[in-house]
Chain A
Amino acid sequence: MLESLPSTKKTQPTSSHEPQAQPQVKSPVASFELRKNDKYYAWLFLGPSLLLLSIFVFYPMLRTLYLSLFLTDNFGEPTVFVGLQNYLHLLKSAPYLASLKATTTYVVGVASLTIVFGLLLAAMANQKLRGIEFFRTIFTATMGVSVSVSAIFWLFMFNPTIGVLNQVIMFFGHQPIAWLTTPGWAMVAVIVTSVWMHLGFTFLLFFGALQSVPKSLYDAADVAGASSRYQFWHITLPMISPTMFFVAVITLISAFKSFGLIDLMTAGGPTNATNLLVYRIYKDAFMNGNYAQASTESIILAIIIALITLIQFKLLAKRVNY
């Protein structure tokens, strides 16, 4: 159906370099009509999505930007114009900078550990062993577990009095750890939970990538006498680099967006140690009713994510072997 669209394009003079290559078969009038039609079709097909995007994406974005320049009252209405004061105030506020630091720790921790462990699991599952299919299924299992279920599940594991982890620690004669009530351990706890949750999907992607590396490459390397470690660094890694890049981008962005986990496990505490940027925005807007500050934080977060994505594309894309 829609394949017919590109065919209309072909009739247009596509480039001025080779006017002779496409002799003027159609009259100028017909070509003009087609071009007019093109515009018509473009609006027709882009229209609905543009309409939806402007209502649900562009308008909220602009409104957020607008609100960030005001103070908002109890109803969330902008009342006093303050220019960039909200931004200056935030970037000087110690709790906000602490949130920024916590978010960095969390995001870097989650993304790197997910990649390392995902790859490790995939490499193990890629071995040809009897019954390996069972493990391949098990390793992807966390994909089917919702945020709330895994948060509750890990809350039980981390419970200070009846949790399994502390039982094990005490069995070996150590002092129990207050997992979710000491700032450092709370960060460890949410990172562990988040990595566990991300692992299933990451494993699946890496496993698919490993399976698609041509076997002939390894055969050739074997003949040449390359060690399996050398094969991993010089064949496997370059061959799966596009997947690696993809995983790095999506885990990083998904870690930035972690909300349910934080809400259910620590609610940003203790002493704001796990008060990540996204959670802070939610609390400022929907608990504290400070829409101006929440909007300012949203804009800053959007800028941060855009910058990081840009850097990733600039730096990593060079190393990716397509």
Chain B
Amino acid sequence: MTKLTNSLKRYWQVVGLAVIVILGFSVFGYARTQVHAASGRTKIVFWHEMKGPGQKQLNSFITAFNKSQTKYEVVPQFQGSYNAVIQKIMNTHGTTASPAVFQSMDISSSQMYHSGYTVPVQKFIDRDNYDISQISSVARGVATRNNKLLAMPFNTSQTTLFYNAGLLKKYGIKPLPVSPSYSDISRVSSQLYQKSNHKIKGMSVEAYSWLFEQFLSNANEEFANHHDGHVGIADKVKFTGPVAIESMKWLQGRVKAGDFMNYGNSKNEMAAFLSGKLGLFMQTSADTSLLIKGLGKDLGVTYYPHPDGVKPNGISVGGASMWIANDKSATVQEGAWQFIKFLVSAQTQAKWEKATGYLAINNKATQEPVLKQLYAKYPMTKIPGDQLKSAKANYTNSGIFVDGVVAARALIENAMQQIYAGKDVKQSLQTAENSYNKVLKSTNRANGHG
């Protein structure tokens, strides 16, 4: 029996130790989430999803902001992908793990708005009489509801066409116009493929829904009803409109002709482009700085393509906006707003465009020496910004204001892959459309939207 008593004693020791360890961790964790940092400043936890050059530049902005004043300390936390962060916000709101200010992508605006988890930045704009006209109106379009700005655009990009001007010169091919039509692109792509003896692929368009959405935007075709959800709750989508069909038939035609290559992801695509094995591709303007590093003055840039004989409508911006969460104290929210103002100032935005290729959304940024020098040295870097300015904001080029577009994107991407593999265009898009209409119906039902 003494053996048993001993082991019981040991048992309680172990249990006690476990309890102490758990308590220790909780206290440690609690201390870490406190709003007052060691410096006595108010801590502003900031979630972002920037990688590569963007992350580097963003971190240096944060350091500069923290040095510029004594009240707040912004603490950046990298959260992975745009897609994942939406669910992270939904799951952590109201806990100590949630951020004070966070970056969330264009197509999440609707869901963030409906969640009721954020404070519209319009509140601070009105209070401070902040001059919002200095911020690009197309950029604001994706985070606006009832003429109120919900979140501040920060990293704004546009889908852009990049081509290898050096290769075109080498094979004596006439370069693309600034705003090319589908057939302009077909010409360059097939000439490059033929003249290089099939050694160089003419073009590539990643099976990425954002690119599909911009084909519609640029030809003023709606993606969802109620004007892409901007004037009501969308309950029907249309992926089989004339432009959707035309653009996909065009790409499938290039696949069949042999000059189109599907690289599977943007990394492989970029590797092929930088190594001179691919003539042109379409991606976010945020890739510009990386491409300049690789190709220098041989990089060619144009607007996003439009169907033949159609006046380009302009495209919605991509990228993300800064949202202020409403589960933190007024002091913390104030700090978040100060940080946001810093991020969209002309100076910050000019540096941001130079470092990444995201477009400076502050209209005064082009007057900054940083950008003037960049445009003088590499004139093509100015083109995506010109594309942004050339568009007049309307419903079809102001993003899609529908909950759960992430799921729609997966379906569209699946359809695009099928189309590239040779399946019927109309049928592939119809399947995606039908599936998403079903999803939308049950989502609306679950969220009490009828």
In the assembled complex, B268 has its CB within 8 A of some CB on chain A: yes
In the assembled complex, A223 has its CB within 8 A of some CB on chain B: no
Stretch at the interface among B5-13, B96-104, B286-294, B319-327: B5-13
Q: A94 — nearest CB in chain B belongs to which residue?
A: B431
Please determine whether A181 and B262 come into contact, CB atoms closer than 8 angstroms.
Answer: yes
Please determine whether A75 and B115 come into contact, CB atoms closer than 8 angstroms.
Answer: yes
Please determine whether B275 and A162 come into contact, CB atoms closer than 8 angstroms.
Answer: yes
B interface footprint on A45-89 (CB within 8 Å = 1, 0 otherwise): 100100000000000000000000001111110011000000000
In the assembled complex, A283 has its CB within 8 A of some CB on chain B: yes
In the assembled complex, B310 has its CB within 8 A of some CB on chain A: no
Q: How far is the CB of B17 from chain A (nearest CB, A)?
A: 12
Q: How far is the CB of A72 from chain B (nearest CB, A)?
A: 6
Please determine whether A270 and B446 come into contact, CB atoms closer than 8 angstroms.
Answer: no
Give A225 to B447 CA distance when docked, in angstroms. 77
Please determine whether A272 and B407 come into contact, CB atoms closer than 8 angstroms.
Answer: no
In the assembled complex, B367 has its CB within 8 A of some CB on chain A: no
Give A285 to B443 CA distance when docked, in angstroms. 13
Assuming A270-B417, A272-B414, A286-B87, is B445 touching A162 (CB within 8 A)? no
Determine chain A's interface SS by DSSP, over half rule. loop
Please determine whether A288 and B84 come into contact, CB atoms closer than 8 angstroms.
Answer: no
In the assembled complex, B182 has its CB within 8 A of some CB on chain A: no
Give A285 to B445 CA distance when docked, in angstroms. 18
Please determine whether B10 and A79 come into contact, CB atoms closer than 8 angstroms.
Answer: no
Please determine whether B207 and A161 come into contact, CB atoms closer than 8 angstroms.
Answer: no
Chain A residues, Cβ within 8 Å of B435: 95
Please determine whether A161 and B275 come into contact, CB atoms closer than 8 angstroms.
Answer: yes
Give A290 to B444 CA distance when docked, in angstroms. 12
Please determine whether B406 and A71 come into contact, CB atoms closer than 8 angstroms.
Answer: no
Q: B88 — nearest CB in chain A belongs to which residue?
A: A286
- For A287, give its contact among B11, B84, B448 (CB under 8 Å): B84
- Counting residue pairs across A and B whose Cβ atoms lie within 8 Å, the total is 105
Within 8 A of B (CB), among A145-188: 159-162, 178, 180-183
Q: B446 — nearest CB in chain A belongs to which residue?
A: A71
- For A288, give its contact among B91, B271, B277, B410 (CB under 8 Å): B410
Give A286 to B81 CA distance when docked, in angstroms. 11
Assuming A162-B275, A269-B413, A290-B407, is B10 touching A74 (CB within 8 A)? no
Please determine whether A75 and B90 come into contact, CB atoms closer than 8 angstroms.
Answer: yes
Give A269 to B272 CA distance when docked, in angstroms. 20
In the assembled complex, B4 has its CB within 8 A of some CB on chain A: yes
In the assembled complex, A4 has its CB within 8 A of some CB on chain B: yes
Please determine whether B446 and A73 come into contact, CB atoms closer than 8 angstroms.
Answer: yes
Please determine whether B264 and A178 come into contact, CB atoms closer than 8 angstroms.
Answer: yes
Within 8 A of A (CB), among B84-129: 84, 86-87, 90-91, 111, 114-115
In the assembled complex, B21 has its CB within 8 A of some CB on chain A: no
In the assembled complex, B403 has its CB within 8 A of some CB on chain A: yes
Assuming A48-B15, A269-B417, A289-B404, is B447 touching A74 (CB within 8 A)? yes
Please determine whether A287 and B115 come into contact, CB atoms closer than 8 angstroms.
Answer: no
Assuming A4-B4, A269-B417, A271-B421, is B90 touching A76 (CB within 8 A)? yes
Q: How far is the CB of B268 from chain A (nearest CB, A)?
A: 6
Chain B residues, Cβ within 8 Å of A25: none
Give A180 to B207 CA distance when docked, in angstroms. 13
Assuming A1-B3, A160-B268, A286-B84, is B448 touching A73 (CB within 8 A)? yes
Q: Please list 29 pairs of residues, one from A and one from B, whose beta carbons are closer than 8 Å in the complex, sorted by A's number.
A: A1-B7, A1-B10, A4-B3, A44-B8, A45-B11, A48-B18, A71-B445, A72-B446, A74-B111, A74-B447, A75-B115, A79-B448, A95-B414, A159-B268, A160-B261, A161-B268, A161-B277, A162-B271, A178-B264, A180-B264, A181-B262, A181-B264, A181-B417, A269-B417, A270-B207, A270-B417, A287-B407, A288-B404, A289-B111
A79-B446, A161-B272 are known; give 20 further A-B pairs, CB within 8 A.
A4-B4, A71-B445, A73-B448, A74-B90, A76-B91, A79-B447, A79-B448, A95-B435, A183-B421, A270-B207, A270-B421, A271-B421, A287-B83, A287-B84, A288-B404, A288-B410, A289-B90, A289-B111, A290-B404, A290-B439
Residues on A facing B (Cβ under 8 Å): 1-2, 4-5, 8, 44-45, 48, 71-76, 79-80, 95, 159-162, 178, 180-183, 266, 269-272, 283, 285-290, 292
Residues on B facing A (Cβ under 8 Å): 3-4, 6-8, 10-11, 15, 18, 83-84, 86-87, 90-91, 111, 114-115, 207, 261-264, 268, 271-272, 275, 277, 403-404, 406-407, 410, 413-414, 417-418, 421, 435, 439, 442-443, 445-448
